[in-house]
């Protein structure tokens, strides 16, 4: 592992993290919803229209029943309400009249059609709204992730972040679409139905409302259980995603070492934990729904018993009992939806809490201290002043109270500085070469120049100005960085070379590839620069990937060019060709060369040797050879290796 990938933690104060309710987590969605106020308003209007149309169905059924039974006045208990809701149809009412049945049956069909139309509009608007907000959230998440510094990605594995941006985001979308829609439908239906049921018979309505307190307590108890369990389920899923992502990314290493069975066994434990937690959730869910259905069944029995007696005693008509019973039937779905909605909101609350962790994360490397105008150009002078750098601490996300570097006993070691007392001036347009053993801090020094990590205040200056005063956009636009670990995107070679340059021409891409000595090989491919390189450049050799990365840096025409051991995978002949073509370019900008090969760095204006984070030697190639230190030993060893290769 490189030094840049290592973080250490200091002892932490063990305080229990404050638990935030799912509802409080969901309040973060309000700004997103407020952007679509008109859609929400129209959705609520169509939802209300659907509720009103649905309320007419039981009334029409009641009138049809009274017509068949021969009642002179349909739905007598509703009185004035019948006149308001069905007044336009009542003139056609005659007891036991086939024409009356035809009229009200037609009205029933029309009411169903209107209800279906409003239902379609509601789903189209509210579900579409949830997709629009999902789009906004996804963009905000990606924007946040690309702003975060390397330390954030040390603390959070890629698979876990992917799980948050896919599974958790989908659960939040369910809150915004089905969650809101079913909630509004439940409230509208329940309010209208309960009012009309009390109007028909207060006594029967009391029997209907008897189980409501039990339902409320049941929903509250099971809702808390579901919320807690689903949070754990999402954590387990994140672990599984991270494990799968690591195995897929490192599949060649797994196969090379014959570790397929071991990795499968390692995957089995988190997989079993994920299944067990889901089975636990299913256990509570399977208790919750049957309990609600049992309460509904008891209520229907009570209503049939008491309502039948009221019909026999002529206290209400049979049509009113049918209407009442139909209203009760319409209440079943809202009551069941109450459980479904509870599940959606509890899952969404748990997932939103995990997304809030990302949305609330603030990059520690920012423009907070920027003073230089963005229009100011960087010339390329680099100065280190007594720089001592230690990697920042990182806590485990799974347990914020436990330091990430703690061992099983909870002890932590004190992190030694990676770089110590570095004082160095690199004039604009000059070439600095850095050599040294593995782990001496070479890559860290390069990463500080690109401000991937923050140097202590006042210890690193660009053009005489502290690096923190330069806007990040200005600084990174002026830096061409070829890191030690080459990364190519799963796109064409053209897009990989032109990455970071808007509207790069074919000529610019060709010239950059020529400088990196990769153009000839690319032109031999059937699709030339349109060749897809595969994930992380898997279809290219190590040397081809490095040269493509060099071309990507060259095409940016940066003021500061950093090559971090970027020629390690090419042979010495190719290295000489690349360096000869790069020579004219290197002389026009400040260049930082990091290498283990003396042949790469021998023509630099100044060479520094790092050891244990300190500069132990500095000078030109000739001066360091005369010093007879680490550099001279390295030179002699490499000369001997070249002679042995020639033999």
Torsion angle, alpha carbons of 458, 463, 467, 471, to 10: 150
CA–chain centroid gap for 503, Å, is 29
Order of all β-strands in the sheet with 460-462: 419-426, 382-389, 460-462, 465-466
**Cβ proximity of 40 and 129 under 8 Å:** yes
Which residue, 584, 595, 615, 602, is CA-closest to 429? 584
pLDDT the model gives residue 386:
92
Superfamily of domain 382-403+417-478+558-646: P-loop containing nucleotide triphosphate hydrolases (3.40.50.300)
- CA-based torsion, 485, 491, 494, 495: positive or negative: negative
pLDDT the model gives residue 384:
93
Give the largest Cα separation in the chain, rounded: 121
List the structure tokens of 202: 């207060």
Low-confidence ranges of the chain (pLDDT < 50): 1-17, 394-414
Work out whether strand 431-435 and strand 419-426 pair parallel, antiparallel, or are unpaired. Answer: unpaired
pLDDT the model gives residue 15:
43
Place of tokens 């409230």: 187
pLDDT the model gives residue 408:
33
If phi > 0 it is left, if psi is from -120 to 50 it is alpha, else beta; for residue 458 that is left
Contacts of 264 (CB under 8 A, 6+ apart): none
- pLDDT tens-digit readout, 377-428: 888 899 999 999 998 854 444 433 333 333 333 333 446 888 999 999 999 8
pLDDT the model gives residue 81:
67
Place of tokens 């001496």: 440
Number of H helices, E strands in the chain: 24, 10
Can you give the residue ranges of every domain in the chain? 21-128+143-359, 382-403+417-478+558-646
pLDDT the model gives residue 80:
67
Superfamily of domain 21-128+143-359: ABC transporter type 1, transmembrane domain (1.20.1560.10)
- pLDDT tens-digit readout, 88-147: 777 777 888 888 888 888 988 998 999 899 989 988 888 888 888 889 999 999 988 888
Cβ count near 240 (within 10 Å): 18
pLDDT the model gives residue 382:
92
pLDDT the model gives residue 405:
38
Q: Which residues of 168-196 are buried (b: 16+ CB within 10 A; e: fewer)?
A: bbebbbbbbbbbbbbbbbbebbbebbbeb
**Rounded CA separation 28/360 (Å):** 10
List the structure tokens of 152: 């954030």
**Rounded CA separation 481/462 (Å):** 16
Q: How far apart are the first and last CA of the chain?
A: 35
């Amino acid at each position: 592992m490189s030094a840049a990938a290592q973080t250490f933690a200091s002892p932490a104060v063990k305080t229990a993290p404050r638990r935030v309710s799912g509802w409080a987590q969901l309040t973060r969605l309000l700004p997103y919803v407020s952007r679509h106020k008109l859609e929400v308003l129209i959705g609520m209007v169509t939802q209300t229209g659907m509720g009103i149309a649905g309320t007419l169905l039981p009334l029409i059924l009641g009138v049809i029943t009274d017509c068949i039974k021969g009642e002179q006045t349909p739905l007598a208990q509703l009185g004035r309400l019948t006149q308001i809701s069905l007044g336009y149809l009542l003139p056609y009412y005659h007891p036991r009249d086939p024409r009356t049945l035809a009229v009200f049956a037609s009205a029933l069909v029309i009411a169903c059609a209107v209800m279906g139309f409003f239902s379609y509009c509601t789903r189209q608007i509210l579900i579409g709204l949830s997709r629009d907000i999902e789009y906004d959230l996804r963009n905000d998440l990606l924007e946040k992730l690309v702003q975060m510094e390397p330390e954030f990605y040390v603390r959070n594995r890629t698979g876990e972040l992917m799980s948050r941006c896919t599974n958790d985001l989908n659960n939040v979308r369910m809150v915004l679409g089905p969650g809101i829609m079913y909630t509004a439908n439940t409230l509208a239906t329940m309010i209208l139905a309960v009012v009309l049921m009390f109007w028909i018979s207060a006594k029967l309505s009391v029997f209907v409302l008897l189980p409501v307190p039990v339902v409320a307590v049941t929903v509250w108890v099971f809702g808390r259980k579901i919320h807690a369990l689903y949070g754990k389920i999402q954590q387990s899923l994140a672990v599984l995603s991270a494990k799968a992502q690591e195995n897929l990314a490192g599949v060649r290493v797994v196969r090379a070492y014959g570790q397929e069975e071991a990795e499968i066994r390692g995957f089995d434990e988190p997989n079993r934990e994920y299944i067990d937690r889901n089975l636990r959730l299913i256990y509570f869910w399977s208790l919750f729904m049957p309990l609600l259905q049992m309460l509904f069944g008891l209520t229907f029995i009570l209503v049939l018993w008491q309502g039948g007696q009221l019909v026999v005693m002529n206290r209400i008509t049979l049509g009113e009992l049918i209407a009442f019973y139909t209203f009760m039937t319409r209440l079943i779905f809202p009551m069941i939806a109450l459980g479904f909605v509870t599940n959606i909101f509890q899952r969404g609350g748990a997932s939103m809490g995990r997304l809030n962790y990302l949305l609330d994360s603030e990059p520690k490397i920012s423009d907070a201290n920027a003073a230089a105008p963005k229009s100011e150009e960087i010339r390329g002078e680099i100065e280190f002043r007594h720089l001592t750098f230690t990697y920042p601490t990182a806590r485990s996300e799974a347990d914020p109270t436990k330091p990430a570097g703690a061992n099983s006993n909870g002890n932590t070691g004190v992190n030694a500085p990676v770089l110590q007392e570095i004082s160095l001036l690199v004039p604009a347009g000059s070439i600095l070469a850095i050599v040294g053993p593995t782990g001496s801090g070479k890559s860290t020094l390069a990463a500080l120049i690109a401000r991937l990590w923050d140097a202590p205040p006042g210890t690193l200056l660009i053009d005489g100005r502290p690096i923190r005063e330069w806007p990040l956009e200005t600084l990174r636009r002026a830096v061409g960085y070829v890191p030690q670990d080459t990364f190519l995107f799963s796109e064409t070679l053209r897009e990989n070379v032109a990455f970071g340059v808007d509207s790069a021409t074919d000529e610019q891409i060709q010239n950059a590839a020529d400088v990196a000595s990769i153009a000839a090989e690319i032109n031999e491919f059937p699709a030339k620069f349109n060749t897809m390189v595969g994930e992380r450049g898997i279809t290219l050799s190590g040397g081809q990937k490095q040269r493509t990365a060099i071309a990507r840096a060259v095409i940016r025409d940066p003021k500061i060019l950093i090559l971090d051991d970027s020629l390690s995978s090419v042979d010495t002949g190719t290295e000489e060709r690349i360096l000869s073509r790069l020579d004219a370019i290197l002389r026009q900008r400040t260049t930082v060369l990091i290498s283990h090969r003396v042949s790469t760095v021998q023509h630099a204006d100044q060479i520094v040797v790092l050891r244990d984070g300190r500069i132990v030697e500095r000078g030109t190639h000739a001066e360091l050879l005369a010093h007879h230190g680490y550099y001279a030993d390295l030179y002699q060893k490499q000369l001997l290796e070249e002679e042995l290769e020639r033999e």
